[in-house]
Structure 1
Amino acid sequence: MPQRSDQLRHFVDWCAAHIKGDEKGEAQIFLDQFFRAFGHAGAKEAGATFEDRIKKEGKGTSFADLVWKPLVLVEMKKRGEDLTKHYRQAFDYWVRLVPGRPRWVLLCNFDEFWVYDFETQMDSPVDQVRLAELPERYGPLAFMFPEGDEPVFGNHQEQVTRAAADQLVALFRALIRRGIERGLAQRFTLQSLMALFAEDIGLLEKYFFARLLEDCATPTQAYDLIGQLFVEMNTPGVTAGGRFKGVSYFNGGLFAQPARIELMAGEIQLLRDAARFDWSKVRPEIFGAIFEHSMDAEARHAYGAHYTSPVDIMKIIGPTIVEPWRAQIEKAKSLGALKRLLVRIENFHVLDPACGSGNFLYIAYRELKRLEARIYERMGEYASVKSEQRPFGFVTARNFHGLDINPFAVELAKVTMMLAHKLAIDELHIEEAALPLDNLDANFMVGDALLREDGSRSPWPAADVIVGNPPFLGAKLLKPNFGTDYVKRLRKAYPEVPGMADFCVYWFRRAETHLPTCTAQDPLAGRGGLVGTQNIRNNASRVGGLDAICASGTVIEAVDNQPWSGEANVHVSIANWVKTQDDVLLPKQRRLWFKIEPAKGGARRPRGSGQASKDYELDMREVAHINASLSDKVDVGGAALLSCNEGVCYTGQYPRHKGFMLTAKQAQSMLKDSINNDVVKLFMVGEEMLTTGRTDRYVIDFQTRDILDAQRYLAPFEHLRQQVLPHVQTLAATEKLKSGKDTGQDQNWLKTWWQHFRCRPELIGKLSKLPRYLACSRVTKRPIFVFVDAAIRPGDALQVFALADDYSFGILQSVAHAQWFIANCSKLTERLRYTTETVFDTFPWPQAAAIEQVDAVAEAGRRLRALRDQSLQSMNGGLRALYRTLDLPGKNPLRDAHDALDAAVLKAYGFNPKCDLLEQLLHLNQQVAAEIAAGKAGVGPGIPAGYLNPSGLVSSDAYQPS
């Protein structure tokens, strides 16, 4: 647009006339004119802040030159300054600018702008624009316009990487489709990948591989020429003459078995197309992409293999490796201290025991090489040392170790780390030999990281630090994916990990055991950082992992909950810890990151991919302590089970097969015979309870009747014989075929195929004695309790409480139980799951509530339900929609009714409303547990003993049969 170019040209001319390049004196006026050139009234008028305060790690405050949330952070340096040296400062500022963290980062020295996108490309700018060329090349800064144009970058390596990865994935799949053995196809793809990189990063002559491909006119020529190149790359020395003159020895690892394949014309063309990319701009994350796309979808699911973004990887590498090392480097007070750090960094070892394609280790390598460069830079402060004199690199790829069960992943990891060496040399201008590449066969091993074939624990290499992203698999998926025998051996080898712990917990527990202790003599060792399922904070998973970690060490930084960046549709938690509890070795403040909803309205949101454009953001607070629940709140995870609570809370029935379900028409037909009233019942699930409050579905429920008794109910039994039995027989036959014998759950189900998989006879027996029962959805963001008529059978999506009184409703629907539920429940992505043992069986009930307090709770509960019923008559969407109004601002009668109930409940407990509620509940839990241990009964759920008129607390409102 001419007008835009004219405005920007005026800015360039103004700078030539008025700006000398003084950072302190001219930065603000320069940036204000910069904003005006892009069509704003000025920087402040646009909403930007000069000298924005950013708290330093520990003590003190830094000042960012300009912050314009959520779009851009600008850091100014004097004219002529090398902007490479200020990358780390900008990155550190960016990390702490939450919430509303800017999408883009600019480094500027008055003559050029370096544009960064730390969400997708952390180690190099996505573009560089000189001030003089800004009028004609404003595309990389287009986000500065009030209209918020999509920026266009000349060095957006993520886009190049994805396109290049697609070419090689297409080649690999083409080879597989025509029957090339998978291992050979993978080896050929990797060796081609290295050749493509090599000619663009200076390891081969420029265009060497591309010209070779042009000469491959036939499959035979492809076999001979490409295959011979791989042979030469595997031959020590430098090829002296001929077609391959000048090809250096790469190593005996990747090319130990040169891959030869007769390529078809289309396959050769795929390689030619791949060679047209500038592979110097292809990021090593390409290996993760190839790994993801070349694995079978079933294999990815079975092993929990998922790609991890660089910004998520830095949430571990930063606090676990970078920050401890940087602290030691910056506080070194002598040349001798810096030399000792060089010796230490040479012997510093990093392990990823689920390394996949090596992305965690690649970023760890890159950051350690930068730290090594910083040591040399600091040594240059001493007159006797010239910082540019580096005899050799102390950090090599041999400092890094990986384990993975997938052989192709391990080969990818080796290639990734081999390239990391050359890329670090180029970035840091290090005088090191790039070839031969390190042979990493001894550093990266294929195999199960947890178990040997004999059932013993697999050995792990010694390491100072352990990082990584173990498999995302829930405990219930272990047997379906790995088989019963493997799970038995796993649990036998790791008896300290509860059976219901998620798979990743085994890595957490093993890392805690394997790490050395962090000491004053070696404060850089004994650190771990792992990604886990969100469930690592809860229940059995917490007991198996983070409880043990916190018993021997200290969590120093954590993400309590965020959606993951890979293909896995999961929410994850991240824990970084130090294996010590010595406060001298630990940061004074811990950092806890947590997910928030992005601000609605206000400053315009940036376009483009990345966290800032997702439906969530991370915020951070500095706290004094992070517990095993990855929270700074009162830790109630260790609350005791209270025997006085047992036998009240249950999960609903699980028929297992849809054949047990009946439509209203089918049910009414069967109920014409009155005998069938015994076994044909209305059935309700959580969705119906929270939306319509009605159900027209029925279930056949024979409970524990034997087959002879069940046959008396002719129509229901015949229905199951036709609809359910064939399915169970097929499952049993399949199980027998797999195992070769009659074992397994499906064989057991065949013995009782007419019964529910979980018919809950104890629960149904208790409900048969009640007029109504309490229920809430088992998976929910907030538990909403309702009474349900006892004639309705509850499905397994409901959490059921054999309680019929108004007082119990009031206690369970109160803020006391809600907070306890959130603290102790199991997590499924954003959803919270009610668990009997950890939530209900540990929840302490009021122990000495007076009669008038019981009545007050019951009455407040009745008023709340009456208000809900009245409101539902005039609105659609049921209880779920009604409770969503609590998320909106403004006065709300429903909120007032809950506040009144909460006040009554707190009085019944005798709690102080000004004190921490969870802390008071935990104290009461411990008190009740101690009394039970001393032989006293303890007051549990239901109407307190001695209440004079129990029937007066059982009103009649409930979800009724349709």
Structure 2
Amino acid sequence: MLWLGYLQWQLRNRRTIADPVLEKLDNIATMDAVLAHDRVAEDGTLTNPRRPDWPDAEYIVGNPPFIGKGAAMRSAFGERYLTALWTAHPQINRSADFVMYWWDRAAERLTEADTRLKRFGFVTTNSITQEFSQRVITKRLAAPVPIGIVLAIPDHPWTKATTDAAAVRIAMTVVERGVPVGQRLQIVAEHGLDTDAPMLGFAATSGRINADLSIGANAAAAFALVANDGLSCNGMMLAARGFVLTAAEAHHLLAISPPAATGIIKPYVGGADLVRHLSNRWIIDAYGHDETALRTIFPAIYQHLLMTVKPVRDTNRRTAFKDRWWIFGEPRRTFRPALHDLSRYIGTTETAKHRILQFLPATTTPDHMVVCFALDDGFSLGVLSSRAHLQWTYANCGLIGVARFEQGHRYTKSRIADPFPFPDATPDQRTVIGDLAEELDVARKDVLDTQTDLTMTGLYNLLARLRSGSAFDPVAHDQRQRGRVDILAQLHDRIDTAVATAYGWPADLSDTDIVARLVALNAARHAEEKAGRVRWLRPDYQIARAGLTALPLPARAEQIEADLPAAPLRKPQFPRDAIGQTAAVLADLRGGVGLTSDEIARRYAQGQKVRPRIAATLAALARLGHVAVDGDRHTLRRAA
């Protein structure tokens, strides 16, 4: 790749290529770049697997193989190679993309004490911004010997590749040692991708580049909140399609089985159903039944599973899947109790063009491509349907091979749902938001029930066209009318305004400011939880689940506190990371008394050494509107 780049440079700058085209080639090493081993044992095992030595260099440039992860890596390399690779690279999580083994090895070389390496740069899949691959980058950026990204293009077309080249997206990163100010390039225009002269337009921003290749508030560093614990999860991972029934199959099995079979054969919803129409599929959910009971009490159901599921499970590599073949691969044992006593829950498709959340009946079993929230109130649906949550989603999700988040993105619950800070709303605010969300949910479902040619995705495509000001042709105009798209827009606008009010924010904040405020609020909530205060979303369920004792409910609060272990009395250390510093300063200001940076510094073990960092944090919070300044004193702003 470096040589090809040099040839292109010659053409662009000299208008000619040097002769000979290829110079000396004795510096090319033919080797596996990410795995070395001694020999192959008789059983195929690679002995003494380790990271290989790389040639000494000042710059590393590469285009690692676009293999993918998981099943794709296993198919390409086989189980023994993967086992050796994981043994050689224990610091890399096994769900990371294959390209990350190159990225991490180069990062390691960059931080070695006697290294000559100045920079490295890679062309990779744009999946490096997704959760498991991003973890590799996060570790390196936050290491004791840090590295920093000096150039990032998180999403770039792979030009002149195939007839569908526009759907192939890559990322580019350039990295050096230290904590540099980087430049992030965003594609804003692209033309002629299938030609020899593609035209790309870039918009550049500068600043500290985060592990998710963003600049600004580091949403990827947000903390999972105890307040959200146990309330969201992906649906059931089946590990065999034989569990799924057509409506005719379900009705037949129910007709020839005891009445209790209604607790086993249930309606089933997949991710695609939530953005189209429900497909009227059913599923056999035998969780809680042992094999003998299932066979003797429900023989017809057992026979169906024996024919359609067991042959598939017998070939599965996982022993647990073979031994408990009649149970879903991942039956979500820890999440099921959260759905008890609920008549409905909130669901959203994991990968989608539009982020649409809706209520689902508790009798419905969700597929693993549905992210579920064990919340049944309109207020929660309204907050999750708001612009605030949408921008948080965009800041924390990964693209799924396309150019823009609104074209397709993945909702990863650990990065989006777990750290998302809900507003501490008043009862009146909760009612307003809840009523609007209930109306939104009913309105959409009513349209889809009566207008069978429309889909949920289709409604939101029309909504996007309406918001962009694009013209409607006669067909689209008719769909707009029948789909009540203008009502849909009005309800979303009112939800956005009501949720902003509940947060105590202006309704016209920019997308960037919304994310910055949510990052700061997440840090504040995390600090509260460390100090023993948790704003539970479902206190009746969560407090009992955690084995804690509820404190008396304040007159206004809906998010109940609970006792947690007390913090030590000695002066704490002021955090070294920006998120922790923000959380600490916000916690100090919650007493309601105006404080100076000097007074806050005296609360920490480092004393006046950290006063400049505290002053900088206070200034940033003031700019974001979280802190009011009166002379040299700072107080926390309270929402009206």
> TM-score scaled by structure 2?
0.71
Alignment of 1:902 onto 2:496: yes
SS at 2:262's partner residue?
helix
Alignment of 1:787 onto 2:380: no
Among 82, 89, 96, the alignment partner of 1:487 is 82
Q: Which position in structure 2 is the counterpart of 1:706?
A: 290
Q: Which position in structure 2 is the counterpart of 1:641?
A: 224
Distance 2:454 2:150 in 1: 44
Q: Which position in structure 2 is the counterpart of 1:938?
A: 535
Distance 2:301 2:269 in 1: 19
* CA drift at 1:719: 0.8
Q: Which position in structure 2 is the counterpart of 1:677?
A: 262
Q: Once the two structures are superposed, what CA deviation does each residue of 1:469-510 show, in whole Å capped at 9, x if it has no partner?
A: 112233323344434444344334333323322111121111
SS at 1:907's partner residue?
helix
Distance 1:595 1:757 in 2: 43
Distance 1:703 1:941 in 2: 25
Alignment of 1:876 onto 2:420: no
CA contact (8 A) 2:230 2:338 kept: no
Distance 1:653 1:926 in 2: 32
* CA drift at 1:663: 1.4
Letter in 1 for 2:343: P
Q: Which position in structure 2 is the counterpart of 1:542?
A: 134
Letter in 1 for 2:287: Q
SS at 1:838's partner residue?
coil
* CA drift at 1:808: 0.7
Compare relative contact order (CA 8 Å, sep 6+) and give the higher one, 1 or 2: 2
Among 379, 388, 402, the alignment partner of 1:816 is 388
Alignment of 1:609 onto 2:201: no
Aligned pairs (5 A) from 1:153-552:
360-366=1-7, 424-426=17-19, 434=20, 440-453=25-38, 454-477=48-71, 478-515=73-110, 526-545=118-137, 548-549=140-141, 552=146
Q: Which position in structure 2 is the counterpart of 1:696?
A: 280
Distance 1:547 1:663 in 2: 47
Letter in 1 for 2:136: G
Q: Please identify, of 859-868 and 830-839, the stretch whose mean Cα deviation from structure 2 is larger.
A: 859-868
Letter in 1 for 2:58: D
* CA drift at 1:773: 0.9
Distance 1:807 1:484 in 2: 48
* CA drift at 1:775: 0.4
Alignment of 1:668 onto 2:251: yes
* CA drift at 1:707: 0.7
Q: Once the two structures are superposed, what CA deviation does each residue of 1:112-148 show, in whole Å capped at 9, x if it has no partner?
A: xxxxxxxxxxxxxxxxxxxxxxxxxxxxxxxxxxxxx
CA contact (8 A) 2:359 2:376 kept: yes
Alignment of 1:826 onto 2:398: yes
* CA drift at 1:755: 1.5
Among 572, 586, 590, the alignment partner of 2:183 is 590
**CA distance change for structure 1 residues 939 and 767 in 2, over 3 Å: closer, same or farther?**
closer
**CA distance change for structure 1 residues 804 and 922 in 2, over 3 Å: closer, same or farther?**
same
CA contact (8 A) 2:235 2:367 kept: yes
* CA drift at 1:439: 5.6
Q: Which 5+ residue runs of structure 2 have no aligned equivalent? A: 39-47, 403-407, 470-484, 543-552, 559-640
* CA drift at 1:655: 2.0
Q: Which position in structure 1 is the counterpart of 2:636?
A: none
Q: Which position in structure 1 is the counterpart of 2:203?
A: 620
Letter in 1 for 2:347: A
Letter in 1 for 2:502: A
Alignment of 1:911 onto 2:513: no
Letter in 2 for 1:770: L
RMSD over aligned CA atoms reads 3.4
Q: Please identify, of 623-632 and 679-688, the stretch whose mean Cα deviation from structure 2 is larger.
A: 623-632
The number of residues matched between the two structures is: 502
SS at 2:415's partner residue?
helix
CA contact (8 A) 2:238 2:330 kept: yes
Distance 2:291 2:172 in 1: 51
Q: Once the two structures are superposed, what CA deviation does each residue of 1:369-428 show, in whole Å capped at 9, x if it has no partner?
A: 689989xxxxxxxxxxxxxxxxxxxxxxxxxxxxxxxxxxxxxxxxxxxxxxxx8434xx
SS at 1:784's partner residue?
coil
CA contact (8 A) 2:184 2:215 kept: no
Q: Which position in structure 2 is the counterpart of 1:835?
A: 412
Distance 1:653 1:896 in 2: 35
Alignment of 1:763 onto 2:404: no
**CA distance change for structure 1 residues 709 and 786 in 2, over 3 Å: closer, same or farther?**
same
**CA distance change for structure 1 residues 596 and 855 in 2, over 3 Å: closer, same or farther?**
farther
Letter in 2 for 1:825: C
CA contact (8 A) 1:814 1:905 kept: yes
* CA drift at 1:518: 13
CA contact (8 A) 1:779 1:832 kept: yes
* CA drift at 1:560: 1.5
Q: Which position in structure 2 is the counterpart of 1:858?
A: 434
Q: Which position in structure 2 is the counterpart of 1:653?
A: 236
* CA drift at 1:687: 1.6
Distance 1:591 1:748 in 2: 46
Q: Once the two structures are superposed, what CA deviation does each residue of 1:776-805 show, in whole Å capped at 9, x if it has no partner?
A: 111112320111111111111211111111
**CA distance change for structure 1 residues 625 and 680 in 2, over 3 Å: closer, same or farther?**
same
* CA drift at 1:573: 1.2
**CA distance change for structure 1 residues 805 and 500 in 2, over 3 Å: closer, same or farther?**
same
* CA drift at 1:643: 1.9
Among 501, 504, 519, the alignment partner of 1:922 is 519
SS at 1:853's partner residue?
helix
Distance 1:448 1:525 in 2: 17
> TM-score scaled by structure 1?
0.48
Alignment of 1:632 onto 2:215: yes
* CA drift at 1:898: 0.9
Distance 2:425 2:322 in 1: 50
Q: Which position in structure 2 is the counterpart of 1:151?
A: none
Q: Which position in structure 1 is the counterpart of 2:346?
A: 774
* CA drift at 1:720: 1.1
Distance 1:462 1:372 in 2: 29
Q: Which 5+ residue runs of structure 1 have no aligned equivalent? A: 1-359, 375-422, 427-433, 584-588, 599-605, 733-743, 951-962
Q: Once the two structures are superposed, what CA deviation does each residue of 1:29-87 show, in whole Å capped at 9, x if it has no partner?
A: xxxxxxxxxxxxxxxxxxxxxxxxxxxxxxxxxxxxxxxxxxxxxxxxxxxxxxxxxxx
Q: Which position in structure 2 is the counterpart of 1:134?
A: none
CA contact (8 A) 1:517 1:580 kept: no
Rg larger for: 1
CA contact (8 A) 2:183 2:209 kept: yes
**CA distance change for structure 1 residues 608 and 489 in 2, over 3 Å: closer, same or farther?**
closer
Letter in 2 for 1:837: S
SS at 1:758's partner residue?
coil
Letter in 1 for 2:2: L
**CA distance change for structure 1 residues 949 and 362 in 2, over 3 Å: closer, same or farther?**
closer
Among 557, 560, 573, the alignment partner of 2:171 is 573
